[in-house]
Amino acid sequence: MNLNSEADITQLEELFCNSSIGFTNSGRTSLYVILKALQLPPNSKIGVPLYTCPSDFDAILHAGYKPHFLDIDPENYTLSPESLEERIEEVEAVIAVHTFGRVSDLDRILKITGERPLIEDCAHALLSKLHGELLGTKSTAGFFSFRSGKYLSAGEGGMITANDPDLALRIRNEIEKLPKLSIANEIKHTLTTYMRSTLYHRPWFGSFALPIGSLVEKKIDIMNKYSFPKTKIRNTDLHTITEKIQIFEENVEKQRENSIYLLKKLKDSGSQLKLPFEKPHTYCNCFLFPIQFKDESTRDKVSNSLRKKGVDTAKMFSNTPLIAKSLYGYKNNCPDTEKVSEKVLVVPNYYTLKKNELEMISEIVKACLH
């Protein structure tokens, strides 16, 4: 794919099933733009899985609405259709988060939402598919994140997909309202991105001897309610996105191979842990490799053992229930999310890892189970 200016957008639209494409400075801003474009009544409740990054909750608040928490399927880490059906009359719109790149049960979710808008959070799910079609194209709108640490690390940047022409026009109008960053900011950002890519040539979930997973756990859930930058995408980030997406599919296949290798090495662990799996008619980009342990202490033991060997891990969204309760009005009605958040550990499966590194990860995990 050779992407350039107007042709870039046209080819991206073709790739995403002829959806309209728009760009912002981040995934969170993209969600904010979509919500504003929907023009829902003020203070509307937006259904959102509790098991996600609170940046989604921030975007909902900034758009003038309220997050209304939904539980997840503990086997797949995505929105539970049962929880949605139970609370559908309480919400004006729904966000389905394709957590870890795994595919939400959109067939059931779309039936339940009916005429209500459904937004796909594809921050983890670039090139994941359902029934052979890319996620982000199956619903009212979708959004993607290209922050450093993703497959397609572009420094910063978010992308919006929309199928309805009227909504797409309103989204473009909302993007036009966003401020454009100065040339000085562009230069500073370019230098920062270059330094980051040089120092951290592999993201935190794929790096050895780079102990920043614990820092990510502390910072990933921090509410940024009062300093939420909403701008147009930087030109440098847009160029990087359209350039890197050419090789993205190849990286996904490599990461899937690594994930299959880990599954093979860990499959004999039996009931002591739950491994990720691919549902029928889905294609997972394997953005992250989650392992669910029998209890929190085992999870922590494995995490500590891996880090002692220089292997980074992360207890993804482990603090989200507590933060949601303290800051966003969560009422302790998502029991599966609370249980999962105490037992899940993300281990490295990044596409640049070698078989001997994956072998070491699996051996450490298995040793902690005995």
Confidence (pLDDT) at 212: 46
Q: Is 144 helix (H, G, I), strand (E, B) or coil?
A: strand
| Long-range CB pairs of 249-254, under 8 A, 24+ apart, other chains included | 249/127, 251/151, 251/351, 252/127, 252/151, 252/285, 252/286, 252/351, 254/351, 254/352
Digitized pLDDT (tens) for each residue of the chain, 370 residues in all = 444 456 666 777 777 877 888 999 999 999 999 999 999 999 999 999 999 999 999 999 999 999 999 999 999 999 999 999 999 999 999 999 999 999 999 999 999 999 999 999 999 999 999 999 999 998 999 999 987 555 565 557 899 999 999 999 999 999 999 998 665 555 554 555 544 444 444 544 444 444 444 444 444 434 444 457 899 987 777 777 766 776 788 889 999 999 999 999 999 887 889 999 999 999 999 999 999 999 999 999 999 999 999 998 999 999 999 999 999 999 999 999 999 999 999 999 999 999 999 999 999 999 999 8
Distances (CA, A) of 333 to 95, 137, 168, 329, 355: 18, 30, 35, 11, 42
User: CA-CA distance, 295 to 368, in Å (whole number)?
Assistant: 13
Confidence (pLDDT) at 17: 72
Single pTM value for the model: 0.88
Nearest CA to 228 out of 172, 288, 323, 158 is that of 158
User: CA-CA distance, 312 to 323, in Å (whole number)?
Assistant: 24
User: CA-CA distance, 299 to 204, in Å (whole number)?
Assistant: 18
Which residue in this structure is represented by tokens 């105490």?
A: 342
CATH 3.40.640.10 is right for the domain spanning 5-199: yes
Q: Looking at the domain covering 204-239+247-368, what would its CATH class be?
A: alpha beta
183: exposed, middle or buried (Cβ count in 10 Å: 0-12, 13-18, 19+): exposed
Backbone CA torsion sign across 39, 41, 42, 46: negative
Confidence (pLDDT) at 341: 97
44 phi and psi angles, rounded to 5 deg:
-60, 150
Domain residue ranges in the chain: 5-199, 204-239+247-368
